[in-house]
């Protein structure tokens, strides 16, 4: 067999995902205004401990080397440590995202004693005001306290994970300094209009000039900063950013949600992108290898409206989720297309129907979004 370039191979799909995100619960003590999974309340159908362990065993058999655990707030689960230990015993590495609330001094010690574990503390502003406007009052202090506990427990280099918004792009250098001061690694990712993020995207997503600012900053600092390869739409500015330049949905990436449904990526919790469920005959492997959705995502994609643009090889048409939840056609430009093609489509009212996420576990309390509603 002749071997063509890696990107083409990856687009054709892998036998098992490389980057699997597993949201363990929709329950969360916070109510972040950009939450990609609209989390808040626990879903009564949530996988129980035995079911979670069973899926972990399946992932071990598929040689999924590591998983990204999120939520909701995963540490809210009473069996959280039991799940971590089961993963560790089965040689599945875990990186989990947390808002830090449940990282006490004692838990930090326990986490530090585990071998094959990464922790990502979410923060969305380098100061209290910027952070708490997105994540809720008190959340900045909570994150800092968690980071202090991890440092004091000698956990090692944890990660600080930041979703880029128009209010924190100017804080990139300060975030890097904050991470450095803890011996931590900075991770920045792209805001998607997913979950509650769909409601706040217009006010939060970086402006066109800030897109350039993020790109320039990543070109200068990208080797030491993690991005989840989420900014590949910016590659149309010029030199490619480090990482895989492609949409991995259903190809190298997928999401298992708290009730065991499998989606193409963490940012498309919508029936249109649901591939199946771990409860099906054949389990996760069957869904990954045989679902009609995943098989279709592994077909060569149509460049659609982007065919005439010379940048397609650089930006790959951007992010499927960003297009879907802003109502743009999937074979057209990204809403944050760097030459403005998406922005003008949005302005020209070609958008008629904006899909809503299929699941909403937001708590039934009113959430104030800076000046909106």
Partner 1 sequence: MTVTLDSACELHPQVALRPEPFGALAYHYGNRKLVFLKHPDVVAVLRDVAAHDTLADTLVAHNVAPERWNSFVSALSSLETSEIIRVRQ
114 binds partner 1 (CB under 8 A): no
Among 45, 82, 90, 91, binds partner 1 (CB under 8 A): 91
239 binds partner 1 (CB under 8 A): no
CA distance 42 to 146: 23
14 binds partner 1 (CB under 8 A): yes
12 binds partner 1 (CB under 8 A): yes
φ and ψ of 94, to 5 deg = -125, 130
Ramachandran area for residue 183 (φ above 0: left; ψ -120 to 50: alpha; else beta): left
Are residues 101 and 92 in contact, defined by beta-carbon separation less than 8 angstroms?
Answer: no
Nearest to residue 195, comparing CAs of 358, 328, 76?
358
Among 29, 93, 109, 151, binds partner 1 (CB under 8 A): 93
Least CB distance to partner 1 at residue 10 (A): 8
90 binds partner 1 (CB under 8 A): no
CA distance 2 to 5: 10
285 binds partner 1 (CB under 8 A): no
Length of the chain: 373
Contacts of 18 (CB under 8 A, 6+ apart): 65, 248, 252, 253
Total of chain residues touching partner 1, rule CB under 8 A: 16
Are residues 38 and 196 in contact, defined by beta-carbon separation less than 8 angstroms?
Answer: yes
Of the ranges 63-71, 130-138, 208-216, 281-289, which one interacts with partner 1 (CB under 8 A)? 63-71
Nearest to residue 32, comparing CAs of 214, 200, 205, 156?
200
Q: Which is nearer to partner 1, 120 or 200 (CB)?
A: 120
Least CB distance to partner 1 at residue 65 (A): 4
CA distance 369 to 373: 7
Of the ranges 10-18, 149-157, 232-240, 348-356, which one interacts with partner 1 (CB under 8 A)? 10-18
Q: Which is nearer to partner 1, 61 or 137 (CB)?
A: 61
Q: Which is nearer to partner 1, 149 or 155 (CB)?
A: 155
Least CB distance to partner 1 at residue 225 (A): 17
Note the Cα 15 to chain centre separation in Å.
22
Binders of partner 1 in range 179-218 (CB under 8 A): none
138 binds partner 1 (CB under 8 A): no
* Beta-strand pair 19-23/185-190: unpaired
Among 41, 54, 65, 102, binds partner 1 (CB under 8 A): 65
15 binds partner 1 (CB under 8 A): yes
Which residues bind to partner 1, rule: CB under 8 A?
1, 3, 6, 9, 12-16, 18, 63, 65-66, 91, 93, 116
């Amino acid at each position: 067999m002749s071997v063509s370039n890696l990107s083409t191979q990856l687009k054709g799909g892998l036998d098992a995902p490389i980057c699997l995100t597993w949201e363990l619960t929709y329950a969360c003590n916070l109510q972040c205004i950009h939450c990609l999974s609209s989390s808040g309340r626990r879903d009564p159908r949530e996988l129980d401990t035995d079911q979670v362990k069973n899926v972990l065993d399946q992932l071990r058999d598929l040689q999924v080397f590591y998983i990204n655990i999120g939520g909701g707030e995963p540490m809210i689960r009473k069996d959280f440590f039991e799940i971590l230990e089961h993963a560790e015993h089965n040689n599945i590495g875990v990186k989990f995202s947390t808002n830090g609330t449940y990282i006490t001094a004692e838990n930090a010690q326990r986490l530090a004693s585990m071998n094959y574990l990464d922790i990502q503390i979410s923060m969305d502003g380098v100061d209290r005001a910027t952070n708490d406007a997105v994540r809720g009052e008190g959340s900045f202090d909570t994150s800092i306290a968690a980071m202090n506990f991890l440092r004091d427990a000698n956990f090692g280099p944890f990660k600080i994970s930041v979703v880029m918004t128009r209010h924190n792009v100017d804080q990139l250098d300060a975030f890097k300094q904050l991470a450095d001061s803890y011996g931590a690694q900075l991770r920045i990712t792209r805001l998607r209009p997913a979950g509650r993020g769909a409601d706040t995207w217009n006010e939060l997503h970086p402006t066109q000039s800030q897109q350039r600012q993020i790109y320039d900053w990543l070109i200068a600092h990208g080797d030491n900063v993690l991005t989840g390869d989420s900014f590949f739409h910016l590659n149309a500015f010029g030199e490619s950013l480090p990482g895989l330049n492609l949409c991995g949905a259903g190809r190298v990436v997928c999401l298992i949600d708290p009730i065991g449904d499998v989606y193409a990526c963490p940012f498309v919790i919508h029936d249109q992108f649901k591939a199946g469920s771990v409860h099906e005959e054949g389990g996760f492997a069957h869904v990954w290898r045989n679902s009609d959705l995943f098989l279709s995502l592994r077909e060569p994609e149509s460049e659609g409206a982007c065919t005439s643009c010379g940048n397609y090889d650089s930006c790959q048409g951007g992010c499927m989720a960003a297009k879907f939840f802003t109502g743009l056609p999937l074979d057209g430009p990204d809403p944050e297309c760097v030459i403005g093609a998406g922005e003008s489509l949005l302005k020209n009212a070609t958008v008629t129907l904006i899909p809503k996420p299929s699941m909403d576990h937001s708590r039934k309390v009113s959430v104030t979004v800076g000046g909106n509603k």
